[in-house]
Amino acid sequence: MNGSSFWAWSLWRAPEGADLLDSIPLSEEYMQCAGTAEALALEVRRLDPDGNAHQYAIGKPGGDLAGEPTEVIHFDNGRYFTTVYPHEVFTADEAAVVFYTYFLTDEVSQPYELRELDLSWPKPESDAGVS
């Protein structure tokens, strides 16, 4: 992942019986990342029992959520960015472990932590990037 020609990865479970040679059906629940192999932001989207979607930043244990996020992750040739806390920055090797577990279980496992993201629009002017 170089941040320009290859900068994002998404993973979701196809519905039972889907013909993946015909089309790849999207899902309301998924895991995704964006950035470079050296600095990635990971997110997971889940539906609650009422069908409401919630999106979360994934972080390593022991992070400090005081103040605003400070780490800027650029992607798509720098056209977009997201800002996360330092413990929410992953390398590609670290992200692979999280993705593999999600592939097996449809969950983000311990010891990783989730921080719910506010994706309401419009965004405040200070949050001009993409989350």
The 10s digit of each residue's pLDDT in 5-36 is 667 888 888 888 888 778 878 888 999 999 99
Q: Which residues are CB-neighbours of 25 under 8 A, at least 6 positions away?
A: 14, 15, 18
What length is written for the chain?
131
Long-range contacts of 118-122 (CB under 8 A, 24+ apart): 119/55
11-20, 35-44, 50-59, 105-114: range with lowest mean pLDDT: 11-20
- Answer whether residue 94 shows pLDDT above 50: yes
- What Cα–Cα distance (Å) separates residue 90 from each residue in 44, 93, 95, 114, 115? 14, 8, 6, 14, 15
Tell me what percent of the residues of the chain surpass a pLDDT of 90: 60
In the predicted model, what is the mean pLDDT of residues 32-42?
A: 95
Decide: pTM greater than 0.85. no
Per-residue pLDDT, 107: 94
Per-residue pLDDT, 131: 47
